[in-house]
Structure 1
C-alpha cells in the first residue's frame, strides 16, 4: 500500500467520463457541491461547455478533458492531464456509454462491437491509465456504471453483454487493487429520467413507472448520491460489488 496517502482534509479529485450525459451531468453537479476537484470528460469540448459553466465556482477545481475512450493514447493523455492539474487522482467514475438496440437476428457485428468498444473497452482503458495515480492516493476509488439491463433486456444483447462484462471485470480488478487501498465497485441504474428517456412515448413511460415498486422513475441525483457514497474515503471496506439502484424494479415482475 502507498505510504503517502493524500491528507483527509484535501478535496477529493475525480475524473468523470460521459459527463455531458444526463446521469453524468447529475453526478458532476453533485460531486461539485461536495467540493470535489473535477476532470470532466466526454467526446467534445462543446458538449461539456454548459456543464463547465454550471459547476465552475462550486467545485474545488474543474477542467474539461475531451477524449475518445476507444483510443488508449487519447485516454492516457486525458488522465495524465487530470493528474498533472490536480497533483494526483482519487476517484474514477466510468459513466460513458452508448446504446444501440436491435434484435440479435438483425444486429450487425459492427454494431455489437461498437457497443463493446465504448462501454467495456473504454472503461478498461480509463481504469488502466488511472491505476498508478489511484494507487498513490491511498484511498483510490473506481466506480463504473453498469445497468439493470445486464440482468437481461429485450433487444439489448450487445448493451447487456457490455454492462454484464463491466460487473465481472470490476470484481477481478477489486481483487487486484485491494491491497493498494483501491476499491472497485459498480452501480446498475434502473430507469432514470434523462432527456433520452423522456423522448419515449407517454404510454411507455407510464408503463415503466407502474412497474417500479417505489412508484416513480429514478433521477440522476439518485445515482449521483450512490456515487458519492462509494467515492468517499470512508467507503474503503466495500469493494467488488454491484449496487442496483432501480426503485425495486429488479425484484418486481414485468411491466403491466
Structure 2
C-alpha cells in the first residue's frame, strides 16, 4: 500500500466541507485518506475523489478507531497532512444544556482532534515535516445559544496556538480555520428568518461554499512559514455586526 507521494488524512471527509477538502487535497497531488462514520458515504467519496484515495471508518471520539486510521496512513507511507474536519453541532441555551450532550460536543469537536493530532505528530516529528489544520468555527468568538459548541471550538483555537509552539521546531505547522456560514446539510435546516438575517450580515453577499474552505486548507498546508494562526473564512462576517443588514451600493 505504500505510496511515494504525501498522505493527507481528512476526518469528516464524507461531509460537505470534508468532501471538498479531500477533493482539493487529491487535486494538489496528495494520496487522501477519507475518514468518517458513514461507511457508504466514505466509499462513495473515496471513489469520487480525483486521485488516489482510501476510505476508512472513523469515530473520532473512539481511541481504537483513531489508532486504526493512523495505522492505515502508516501503511501508505506515513501521514504528512492532518485535517481535523469531523464535528457535530447539537446545542442549546444554558438552562436546557444537557450535560451528556455537552460532553459529546467536547469529545468530537475538541478532545478527539487533539488525540488524533498527538498520534499523527509521532510520524511527522520523525520525518521532520507535517501540517495540521483544525476546522474551528466563527463560533469560537461566541454564538448565542451555542455555549457547548463555542466552548469546544474556542478550545480548539487555543490548542492550535499552543501546539504550533510545541511542534514548530519539528517542522510541523498547526493552524486553524474559522468558517462562517457555509451551505451544507448542517445549515439546510435553519429557519428561513435566521438564514435571511445571517446572509444579510455577510459583507460579500453570499453564503460560503465548501470549496471556499477547501481552498483555504490547501493554502495553509503549503504555507510552511505560517503557523499558530486562525484564518476566518466567513465572507467578512467576523468583522461585521452579526445581524446588521448588508449595506447596498448607492446608485
The bucket for the TM-score relative to the shorter chain is over 0.9
**Partner-residue secondary structure (3-state), 1:132:** helix
Instruction: Say whether 1:126 aligns with 2:120.
Output: no
d(CA) in 2 for partners of 1:64, 1:137: 24
Give 2:20's aligned residue: 26
Tell me if the contact between 1:89 and 1:137 (Cα under 8 Å) persists in the aligned partners: no
**Partner-residue secondary structure (3-state), 2:114:** helix
Give 1:166's aligned residue: 156
Please, what is the CA RMSD of the aligned residues?
Answer: 1.3
Give 1:254's aligned residue: 242
**Partner-residue secondary structure (3-state), 1:196:** helix
Q: How does 1:229-248 map to 2 (within 5 A)?
A: 229-232=219-222, 235-248=223-236
Counterparts in 2 of 1:146 and 1:136: CA distance versus 1, 3 Å: same
Q: How does 1:74-85 map to 2 (within 5 A)?
A: 74-84=65-75
| TM-superposition CA deviations, 1:38-63 (whole Å, max 9, x none) | 011011322212212211xx22x211
Which 5+ residue runs of structure 2 have no aligned equivalent? 245-251
Structure number with greater CO (CA < 8 Å, separation at least 6) is 1
Tell me if the contact between 2:8 and 2:31 (Cα under 8 Å) persists in the aligned partners: yes
Q: How does 1:180-199 map to 2 (within 5 A)?
A: 180-199=170-189
d(CA) in 2 for partners of 1:49, 1:77: 17
- State the TM-score, normalized to the length of structure 1: 0.90
| TM-superposition CA deviations, 1:139-192 (whole Å, max 9, x none) | 300100000001010110000000000010111111111111001000000000
- The total of aligned residue pairs comes to 241
d(CA) in 1 for partners of 2:149, 2:243: 20
**Partner-residue secondary structure (3-state), 1:243:** strand
Q: What is the deviation of 1:201?
A: 3.3
Which 5+ residue runs of structure 1 have no aligned equivalent? 1-9
Tell me if the contact between 1:139 and 1:236 (Cα under 8 Å) persists in the aligned partners: no
Give 1:109's aligned residue: 99
Q: Bigger shift: 39-48 or 104-113? A: 39-48
